[in-house]
Every structure is written in structure tokens, then in C-alpha cells.
Amino acid sequence: MEIYRAHVLVCGGTGCSSSGSATLIERFNEKIAENGLEKEVKVIRTGCFGLCEAGPVVIVYPDGTFYSRVKPENVDEIVTEHLLKGRKVEHLVYTDHATHEQDANKALDDITFYKYQKRIALRNCGVIDPENIDEYLAMDGYLALEKALTKMTREEVIDEILKSGLRGRGGGGFPTGLKWKFTYNSVSDQKYVACNADEGDPGAFMDRSILEGDPHAIIEAMAIAGYAIGASEGYIYVRAEYPIAVKRLTVAIKQAEEYGLLGDNIFGTDFSFRLFIRLGAGAFVCGEETALMHSIEGKRGEPTTRPPFPAVKGLFAKPTMLNNVETYANVAQIILHGADWYNSMGTEKSKGTKVFALGGKINNTGLVEVPMGTTLRTIIYDIGGGCPNGKKFKAVQTGGPSGGCLPESLLDTPVDYDNLIAAGSMMGSGGMIVMDEDNCMVDIARFYLDFIVDESCGKCTPCRVGTKRMLEILNRIVNGKGKEGDIEKLEELAQTIKSTALCGLGQTAPNPVLSTLHFFRDEYEAHIKEKRCPAHHCKALLQYVITDKCRGCTACARVCPAQAITGEVKKQHVIDPDKCRKCGACMEKCRFGAITKM
């Protein structure tokens, strides 16, 4: 085996790839060769390291120096200074958002963003090369599969998962071990294991990062599940929108087959297991388990009523055990370290850790994994660094289109499945979108309803027609045409849809409206009664006005696409509200802060 004195880890996750990390890798390899270091330094493309905001991220080991927002032109300096002469390039080192320090000697775990985290599902993301099975093996990879196959009975494996307290990470929170047990109990000539990687919840990308950063963890867990429930085949259903994830999974499955970790008689036992990938084709409802299985079968992805549950009759009418990517990512670790290790973390009813995708109006966008029970405040402020540009926090949305918006007063809620439901939202898959004072909560509710109307499969009437009527009312309200009684109508429709829709998508569709009505009713009322949008977001309800700070520089008049601004040079200008298209171009252009929204 070749031994290198230093490793350069470049993030190859979707975020950093989009910020140009592939060019960085090329440049590093070129410069390393130019300096004759190719036998001493190795460049590795890893999966996502979580801190997308600081991307592209480069970490140099053995020092553990964390460089952020690295540009191709910085590579030369890192190679000639750090790698050749051993002098860390201080000015490129990541600046800690809390301490404002740029400390090249600080250990990664001490950086504020990582300090509160506990990485189990993400343990290998950003650490290993996801396309190299040897690196996974070196991180105790496939040891859990070996342990399960050679030292544990099928019942013991299921018991261990049950005892760990692991619950479904896709959003429902159903005890994973129970699901395994039910499928184990079903008698059939053929059973299936399936993985839900159809991460459709907008704003959540943990499944993507796990598949891109640690695909073998999912393969290993599915094989363990196959052994436990008695399945010889498994299907991974991935969104077509995730090309990198699909590619790395394909590579990983091939490598596992070559190593005999998938296929016939794994580890010399009589257990055989094969995995297949199926691609989604852009339908949110396919995240629902029955719809997903129909889609794998090559049909329209419409849900069907349960029972029968998939554990009895699922894919191709055989008993099927479907888990989410993040759920699987915990399995090998539980088998390896034991249920007691896992259930020592978390809260009474929610064990272990949860990955959250931080996005929206927050300084440190990215992926974080924290023990269950961590408060929203810790996640948003200590780890996320709060709202940018000194804006005031308004709400955090969790649970995607099935969840809700929680206000400032609930920030000290310890996050777990039950607490979030009690607070009026839900865990969902773990998207966490922060909103500040500039976001209109009525418009956010409208946004989610618009999403649902678009994605409703149309099979049941409450979801197909009901959500559309709700959207019409919300459109009316944000356009300044809201009427007395609209709020009550929304509530009535919401309750009806909740209790009568066919699947989880429809039953939870009204949640964003209900939660915003509960916590931000005053905003709805301002829109309807006063024809005013408190956040100055809704175009129909807002006016741009030039104040006496105006110096008459004419910049705004020149940039206005509607010629709505008039005035003499060096005198205060005026906006004609009838001509104004409310594009905001004038406000961006004004150097004196003289244009405000009313």
C-alpha cells in the first residue's frame, strides 16, 4: 500500500461541486505534480462536509487545516506554502462565525459549527473517498454486516434495532425495529428491502449528501436488513435530480459485488443479496411508501390505501421493508456498537441523532447532525450563526410541506419527534428553513400550497380539489383581495382535507397554513382587513416611496424599467404608483437609502 505524508481532502458534494471544487482538484493535482510531490501528497475528493456556506471546502491532513471558499488561484499558494514548506496559509483558513478567529491550529471539532454536533449518519461524509470501497472498509466498513451474518441470528439483529429506539428518519418517526419485525413475521417465498432516496421535501438534502458521501453505508445496512427480514433482493429508489448520488451508488454497488459483499453466499454464509437502483422521474408523491413502490413497478406513482401495509403486501405484491436513507445510515453503527450505545443519546422517546439541513435566512447554511433533544436555538444560533445582515428572526419552518412554521417564542423547544408535533410542526425529513422579518408568512403558506397543488397526484378529491380551493383563497389574500371570512374558510377546508385525504401527502398538506394561522394570524388579518403586508413582501400590497433623503441623483429614474420615476436633477424624485411595477430596481440602485417600502 502506498503511504502519503499528507492528504488534501476536497469536498465533492453538490454544494461545493457547484462552487467549482472539480477545478480545484485538477489544479491541486497539477501543482502537486509540478512541485514533484505526487508521491508524498494525495488529493481525495470526499462527500459533503456540511458547511456548504464556506464552500468549496479543503482540508489538509495530518494538520487538519480547514480552508474555506478556496478559489483556483489560491491552490498554488496552498501547495507551495503548506504542502511544500509546511507553512499554513493563514489568510485562507476558515473564520469561525462565533469567535471571528482565523485559527489555523484549531481542531475541526473545536470550530463552533462542529462543536455541538455528533456525526453518526454523516460519520464518513467529507472524510473518505466515496468511490473507493477500501476507504470505507478502513472505517470499520462492512464489519457490522460480518457481525450480523456470522455472530447474530436474524432475531437478534431485529432485537438490537428495536432496543436502539431508532425511528424512521424520513419524517414519520415509526419505530424502525417494529417495521423490520413485521416484515420478518410475514411468510412469503420472496421479500424485498427497499430504500427511499426520493428526497422530495424542498430544503432537505441530507439523503443526497449521505448517498454522495458514504454510499457503502446504505448498501451495508440494506444487506443487514435483508438478512434480518429474509429478503434476497433490494431496491434503492433515487431521485433523478441527484445525478452524482446515482453515479456513486452505482460505483459502490459494483465494488461491493467485486468484493463479494453483495451477491451469493456473503461471508461464506448461505445468505445471498442483490441490490438494484431505480430512478424517480420527478414526482413528490413518490416519497409516500405505496406510491414509491408503484413507481418501482413501472406504474404511475399513485398511493393506495393501507392496510395492507407493505410489510404484508408491498413491492410486486410481496412483503417489503422500506426505510429512508438516513435511517439506514445509522444501522451499521448500531449493530457494531450496540443498542445501548445508541439509545444513550437523545430524548426519552427519540433516540440517537438527527441530521438537519439548515437553509434560508441563516449564516451557516449546510448540514448538521445533532443529538435528539438539542434546542432549536442551539441549532439556529450557536451552530447556524443566526440571520444574516442583522435581520430579525421571524420563524423556522420544519417538516417541509407537511410541517409548520415555529416562532421565536418556541426556540427553546428541544427537538424531537414528539416535541415538534406538540409545538404544531413536525420533524419531517429534517429540512430547517429560517425566515427573517422580510418573509411574509402568508406568502410562505401560499408557496407550500402551490407546491402541493402542483404535486398532488389527483387520485383523491380532498387533496386534488381541496388544496386548490385553499390556494385560490391564499392567492386572493396576498393579492390584496382577501375577504372577511377567508380565514374561517381556510380553517374549514384544512380540517376536512386533514381528515379525509387518502395518503400522508394530502393529510398533512394543510399544515403550513394551519401553523402560520396559529402563530402569525395577525399577518393574515393585516392582509385582509388593512390591505397591508407587514413584511413588505407582497407586491400588490406594497408601495415604493422616495423620502426626503433623496439627493436627486437621477440614478433611480434611469434604472426604472417602467419610467415611473420623475423629478428634476438635485431635487427629490417621485414614483408614480400607477406606473410602478414594484420590481425594486430603484431601491437597489439608490446609494442614499432614500427609497423605502410601505
Partner 1 sequence: MDQSKEKFAQLQELIDSHKGQKGALMPVLQGAQGIFGCVSEDVQKFIAEGLGVTLSEVYGVATFYAQFSLHPKGEYLISVCLGTACYVKGSQSVLDKLSEVLEIPVGGTTPDGKFTLEATRCLGACGLAPVMMINGEVYGRLTPDAVPGIIAKYKAKD
> Coil, strand, or helix at residue 558?
helix
Among the residue ranges 14-22, 152-160, 176-184, 563-571, the one whose residues contact partner 1 (CB under 8 A)? 14-22
Q: Does 295 bind partner 1 (CB under 8 A)?
A: yes
Q: Does 398 bind partner 1 (CB under 8 A)?
A: no
Tell me the closest approach of the beta carbon of residue 506 to partner 1, in angstroms: 17
**How many other C-beta atoms are found inside a 10 Å radius of the C-beta of residue 574?**
14
Contact letters for partner 1, residues 344-383 (x by CB under 8 A): -------------x-xxx---xx-----------------
In this chain, which of 38, 316, 317, 530 binds partner 1, going by CB under 8 A? 316
Q: Does 63 bind partner 1 (CB under 8 A)?
A: no
Helix intervals (H) in 40-142? 72-77, 112-115, 133-138
Q: Does 170 bind partner 1 (CB under 8 A)?
A: no
Among the residue ranges 76-84, 289-297, 322-330, 348-356, the one whose residues contact partner 1 (CB under 8 A)? 289-297
Q: Does 444 bind partner 1 (CB under 8 A)?
A: yes
In this chain, which of 169, 216, 278, 351 binds partner 1, going by CB under 8 A? 278
SS3 percent helix, strand, coil of the chain, rounded to 5, is 45, 15, 40
Q: 479 burial class (0-12, 13-18, 19+ CB within 10 angstroms)?
A: middle
Question: Distance (Å, rounded) from C-alpha 167 to C-alpha 173?
Answer: 5
Question: Distance (Å, rounded) from C-alpha 215 to C-alpha 533?
Answer: 46
Q: DSSP letters along 243-284, please? A: HHHHHHHHHHHHHHHHTTSSBSSGGGSS--BEEEEEE--S-G
Q: Does 520 bind partner 1 (CB under 8 A)?
A: no
Closer residue to partner 1, CB minimum distance, 18 or 150: 18
Question: Distance (Å, rounded) from C-alpha 272 to C-alpha 193?
Answer: 13
Q: Does 284 bind partner 1 (CB under 8 A)?
A: yes
Radius of gyration for the chain, computed over Cα atoms and rounded to the nearest angstrom: 26
Closer residue to partner 1, CB minimum distance, 104 or 474: 474
Closer residue to partner 1, CB minimum distance, 89 or 460: 460
Q: Does 200 bind partner 1 (CB under 8 A)?
A: yes
Tell me the closest approach of the beta carbon of residue 448 to partner 1, in angstroms: 8
Among the residue ranges 123-131, 169-177, 294-302, 348-356, the one whose residues contact partner 1 (CB under 8 A)? 294-302
Tell me the closest approach of the beta carbon of residue 548 to partner 1, in angstroms: 28
Question: In sequence order, what are the residues at sequence separation of 6 or more whose Cβ sits closer than 8 angstroms to the Cβ of residue 364?
Answer: 51, 53, 54, 97, 113, 358, 383, 384, 385
Residues numbered 378 to 397 that lie near partner 1 (CB under 8 A) are: 397
In this chain, which of 19, 176, 347, 425 binds partner 1, going by CB under 8 A? 19
In this chain, which of 55, 310, 466, 504 binds partner 1, going by CB under 8 A? 55
Tell me the closest approach of the beta carbon of residue 373 to partner 1, in angstroms: 24
Give how far Cα 354 sits from Cα of 123, 145, 207, 361, 408, Å.
12, 23, 12, 21, 21
In this chain, which of 33, 107, 138, 240 binds partner 1, going by CB under 8 A? 240
Q: Does 433 bind partner 1 (CB under 8 A)?
A: yes
Tell me the closest approach of the beta carbon of residue 351 to partner 1, in angstroms: 27
Number of residues near partner 1 (by CB under 8 A): 55
Q: Are 577 and 543 in contact (CB under 8 A)?
A: yes
Question: Distance (Å, rounded) from C-alpha 15 to C-alpha 12?
Answer: 8
Residues numbered 546 to 585 that lie near partner 1 (CB under 8 A) are: 584
Among the residue ranges 58-66, 141-149, 433-441, 490-498, the one whose residues contact partner 1 (CB under 8 A)? 433-441
Q: DSSP letters along 436-505, please? A: ETTS-HHHHHHHHHHHHHHH--S-SHIIIIIHHHHHHHHHHHHTT---TTHHHHHHHHHHHHHHH-SSHH
Q: What region, left, alpha or beta, does residue 399 occupy, with left being phi > 0 and alpha being psi -120 to 50 degrees?
A: left
Q: Does 282 bind partner 1 (CB under 8 A)?
A: yes
Give how far Cα 557 sits from Cα of 36, 158, 230, 341, 372, Å.
59, 70, 72, 66, 54
Contact letters for partner 1, residues 123-152 (x by CB under 8 A): ------------------------------
Question: In sequence order, what are the residues at sequence separation of 6 or more whose Cβ sits closer than 8 angstroms to the Cβ of residue 463?
Answer: 452, 456, 457, 497, 501, 502, 503, 505, 506, 509
Tell me the closest approach of the beta carbon of residue 208 to partner 1, in angstroms: 4
Among the residue ranges 99-107, 167-175, 196-204, 379-387, the one whose residues contact partner 1 (CB under 8 A)? 196-204
Closer residue to partner 1, CB minimum distance, 584 or 593: 584
Element (H, E) at 303: none
Question: Distance (Å, rounded) from C-alpha 221 to C-alpha 225?
Answer: 6
The residues binding partner 1 (CB under 8 A) are 14-15, 17-19, 52-53, 55, 199-205, 208, 240-243, 278-284, 295-302, 316, 357, 359-361, 365-366, 397, 400, 431, 433, 435, 439, 444, 447-448, 451, 455, 457, 584
